[in-house]
Amino acid sequence: MSWGSLPTEPKFEGEFVVERRAVKPGRRFEGLNVFVTGAGRGFGRLIALGFAREGGNVVVHYNKSAESALQTAREIEQMGVRAFTVRADVTKWDEVKQAVEKTWREFGPIDVLVNNVGDTAPGQMSWREITEERIDHVLAVDIKGTLFMTHEVGSRMLERKKGVIVNICSNVITTGSPRAPQYAASKYGVLGLTKSYANAFAPYVRVNAVAPGYMETESLLSRPDWTAGRRKWVIEHTPLRRIAKPEDIVPVVLFLASDDSIHMTGNVVVCDGGFSMPGA
């Protein structure tokens, strides 16, 4: 055992007995409160709606897109569940603390946290364009943001002795990113946080990650370097011969957040159509 893996506080002793929730088909999150960061639009919005369809009450987090967050909340409420909007810049710990405290006070305890917010450095087309400012921003959003949210929500879950956290990673943890090396570094950081907190919060709180590959999001489609030729090349080098829609990845997030993955923690599930084809 390495020094880095030595326990620093008392661990749970004995056998941990897991109790599955009794759920109706298609309602795995009935009565649970789910916090999704960056849920006002894009992939985060689809994740939030996915939880709502299965009975979850959803906290719609946003930073700048207030109107989009309100629209997402309205759609959630139309499904017969509760919605709550809260703003915070996840790179600022004080704002995260305030947002989590407000959520706990006004909405209720959180059962599931999805750390969706991330920065892919969309404006950077080559490693040659890297700047200190771009490095700092990507690392702050992806690593600090994930850490702050996990720390604040996860510690409260640990006090309640129950909860699930799902982080959004990327297949760049296997492929790297010649376009934006700082993005690959940040997602390696997210993987490290996933495994670290999975150990720290065990056995009460499970922490896993989803690692999508190329997804045809608004962000990807608007990039100047996403040309027809490059899209064709990616498809040709993907065994499943297609590029994922965000809707294709949402079910994997829900799987990791549900009791269907009850014996998984510290794991990362790569969803890139076989593009990176990791070894066992």
Residue recorded with tokens 């150990």: 199
Q: Of 155, 38, 165, 62, which Cα lies nearest the Cα of 113? A: 165
Q: Which of 62, 183, 197, 214 is catalytic?
A: 183
Distance CA 64, CA 186 (A): 22
Q: What is the CA radius of gyration of the chain?
A: 19
Whether 214 is catalytic: no
Distance CA 217, CA 127 (A): 22
CA distances from 134 to 147, 148, 249 (A): 19, 20, 27
The two tokens of residue 71 are 């629209």
Q: Of 38, 43, 118, which Cα lies nearest the Cα of 86? A: 38
- The catalytic site residues sit at 183
